[in-house]
Structure 1
Amino acid sequence: MGKESRLKKVVVVADWDADGVVSAAEIYYSQKYREAFPHKGRAVVEMEPSGPRGFQDKAGSLSCGDIVVILDIPYTDEVKAGLKTYVDGCRERIESILYFDHHDSTLKRSRELEAEFGILLFYGVMPTSLIVRNTLEAAGIRLTPRLDNFVKGVAVLEGGGKAVGGFVSKSIVNLTASISKTLNRRRDPDVWRRYVEWLANPLPFEPTKLPGSGETIVDASLEESREADEEVKRVATDLAMSSVKLGIVSFVDARGKWKRPGASALASFIHKIVKTPVALLFERDDGVRVLVLRSSAGEAKMLAKELEELGLVEDLGGHENVATARLREDTTLERLTKGLRRASVSIVVKRNRG
């Protein structure tokens, strides 16, 4: 048996977006370059991107690891099924499973995570990459200045423009957003892994090229972002004209008009046009209806919670100003629009009470 096969294996599964890829880079850096977390010493690191949708299929193809780290993936029934498949197949090897996340659905089912799978949950009301950074710092592990800047860039994007993770330049924030758009458009695991490796690299100016092309990561991200923005702007302009005002919310029914990744970006562009919180309804290619809520002052998450309490949506995800939820099967368009009006009134009343 070779020396490499005797090393511990760390399996990292993280979301496709900026928060997921930066979180994965933090774990990759702390393990590969610092040999400190999650395993003290050398280890083989295997990395895979996945969202909650498709997690069950992804889990069935993962190799068994001694330590498993799940990052920025809201805990849903599909994730539960995937974890069960993975744990049942790798039970004899798994030593620990660490779960870093900030989504409400994960917190609400935290006891289930711990009881059924013995998972150690790291939860916080902040981007997952900030939770990871704080955990590493508590263990005496400091990130490189460049990687730390991307953590701050994610915090600005997910905090609605607020520098909740510390000050960072606008150029880093823009590049972070460009990386997220590139990954969502390409949905290529090899490209995602290359971004993780580039972000984690302690050599700050080493040019890294994407697989299958001569483009550097920075150039490819900025060009892809420009193309994505042009496409989304065209659709957003048309959809904004058809929006319906429901209390404080502009409701947009994008079913049949948008099925690709990037619905959050689409909602953000519409939000810039209409200048109010936006509720964007679209239907995925598997028939699931998803509501994306976008705001600038925390209304998105508040609206999502109000709609959940009304029994209209489930599987909440996202952040203060960008939230997502899946419509329940029995939620009709009429019930949804009435619910949005009611949720709007509730938010206004609560704010007036102070």
Structure 2
Amino acid sequence: MSSNVVVVADWDIDGVVSAAQIVYSQEVVGKYPLDGKRRVFLIPSTSKTLPFIFNEVSSLNVSHLVLLDIAYSRDVMFFLKKIKSLNIYSIYIDHHISSFIYSKTIESLVDEFIVGKIPTAYLVYQLMNSLKISLTSRLKAFIEAANTIEGGKQKALNRKFIQLVIAVSKTLAHSRNREQWEKLIRWLSSPLPQTSMPFNINIDKFIEPQKNSEDLNLFANELALRAEKIFNVRFIDARKTRPRYRPSAIASALYRIFKNPVILLLNNKEDKSYIVVKSKDSTAYIIALELYRKGIAIDIMGHQTLSYTLLRDDVDINQVKNFIRNIILKKM
């Protein structure tokens, strides 16, 4: 087994910036996770695609694996068990709610585990700071951008720069172009003062306003009329509607209207009820976690500013509202 590292990270900007920091630390500084400069292999993945990359990981014959920004799931569990059987030293850093809930299980499967309510890129940044690793100004700018996008933290960053980073993130998520994904990580982790980004694919369509944005806003305004106020939170029962837009897009549009946390109640294709919570702070995270702990939710996903909670079939919606009211009271 060679003393090299493989980084498996999500496609989005949080995963990319997290991976770039590990590459910089290992290949440029030679400090983490191994002492001395070693090669870092890069593999993009999601929770669902982890089973399909195991053979590639095992064929690399590495000594260390770093898993970044991938929400814990059954597929992740089986993947980590296989990694453990190969005696590969494993590091798992993530910020998703499921990783927080199953932290004890994860700790039994990996050698190092870091979980928090802030974006993964910022968790890695804190790790770099603790190791006294000084990052480049370019990498720091993208860390702050990822933190703003994923965590809702408003920093004094150029608005056009934020729009560009969002566009890059969406481009990678839609195209799933592995070559471009790795090129961006290599560019971010480079200590050389390069100016142009390594992109030759069109990201303009993600910067320009979407054609259906006006329709989405109209739809959100119609839903807003149904909003029920629970302290500073707006609760909207939209189970009888069949929206043409992604639930996260609807919740975000509603958040822009109210400028306060939004809870959207919907039914999925199997006619199961679930709620989407959008907030600027960790309210979405807290509500999902508490509903799960109370046994009202049977599954949750998402992160601190956007969460999805699948409700029990027999749950009463008024009971859900009362629990949410108590959660908000406790938070206040």
TM-score class, shorter-chain normalisation, is: 0.7 to 0.9
1:51 aligned residue: 46
- Find the residue that maps to 1:121 and give its secondary structure: strand
Provide closer, same or farther for how the CA distance between residues 97 and 272 of structure 1 changes in structure 2, counting only shifts above 3 A: same
137, 142, 147: which is aligned to 2:134?
A: 142
Say yes or no: does 1:30 pair with 2:25: yes
Say yes or no: does 1:278 pair with 2:262: yes
1:197 aligned residue: 186
2:177 aligned residue: 188
Q: Is the 8 A contact 2:265 2:275 kept in 1?
A: yes
1:250 aligned residue: 236
C-alpha distance in 2 between matches for 1:196 and 1:290: 35
**Aligned residue identity for 1:69:** V
- Find the residue that maps to 2:263 and give its secondary structure: strand
**Aligned residue identity for 2:179:** D
Q: Is the 8 A contact 1:124 1:131 kept in 2?
A: yes
C-alpha distance in 2 between matches for 1:134 and 1:175: 24
Say yes or no: does 1:317 pair with 2:302: yes
1:350 aligned residue: 330
Provide closer, same or farther for how the CA distance between residues 323 and 311 of structure 1 changes in structure 2, counting only shifts above 3 A: same
**Aligned residue identity for 1:322:** L
C-alpha distance in 2 between matches for 1:20 and 1:288: 31
- Find the residue that maps to 1:8 and give its secondary structure: coil
C-alpha distance in 2 between matches for 1:77 and 1:347: 29
Q: Which runs of 5+ in 2 are unaligned?
A: none
1:346 CA drift (Å): 1.8
**Aligned residue identity for 1:113:** I
Say yes or no: does 1:103 pair with 2:96: yes
- Aligned pairs for 1:304-343 (under 5 A) are 304-308=288-292, 309-319=294-304, 321-325=305-309, 327=310, 330-331=312-313, 335=315, 337-338=317-318, 340-343=320-323
12, 17, 25: which is aligned to 2:12?
A: 17
Q: Is the 8 A contact 1:281 1:291 kept in 2?
A: yes
Q: TM-score, normalised by structure 1?
A: 0.77
1:3 aligned residue: none
In the comparison of the two structures, how many residue pairs are matched?
Answer: 324
Provide closer, same or farther for how the CA distance between residues 113 and 286 of structure 1 changes in structure 2, counting only shifts above 3 A: farther
1:176 CA drift (Å): 2.5
1:128 aligned residue: 120
Deviations along 1:111-149, one digit per CA (max 9) or x if unpaired, are 32232x242112333221111112122222111011011
1:298 CA drift (Å): 3.9
Deviations along 1:136-192, one digit per CA (max 9) or x if unpaired, are 2222211101101111112222332434xxx54434333322222222222333332
- Find the residue that maps to 1:43 and give its secondary structure: coil
**Aligned residue identity for 2:107:** E
Say yes or no: does 1:153 pair with 2:145: yes
**Aligned residue identity for 1:224:** K
Q: Is the 8 A contact 1:26 1:132 kept in 2?
A: yes
Q: Is the 8 A contact 2:262 2:278 kept in 1?
A: yes
C-alpha distance in 1 between matches for 2:166 and 2:253: 14
1:79 aligned residue: 76
Provide closer, same or farther for how the CA distance between residues 271 and 142 of structure 1 changes in structure 2, counting only shifts above 3 A: same
C-alpha distance in 2 between matches for 1:196 and 1:157: 18
Deviations along 1:11-30, one digit per CA (max 9) or x if unpaired, are 11112222111101111122
Please give the root-mean-square deviation of Cα atoms over the aligned residues, in Å.
Answer: 3.3
1:289 CA drift (Å): 7.8
C-alpha distance in 2 between matches for 1:181 and 1:281: 26
Q: Which runs of 5+ in 1 are unaligned?
A: 1-5
1:336 CA drift (Å): 7.0
C-alpha distance in 2 between matches for 1:312 and 1:300: 14
Deviations along 1:4-50, one digit per CA (max 9) or x if unpaired, are xx853211111222211110111112222223222222322221222
- Find the residue that maps to 1:175 and give its secondary structure: helix
1:61 CA drift (Å): 4.1
Percent pairwise identity: 27
**Aligned residue identity for 2:22:** I
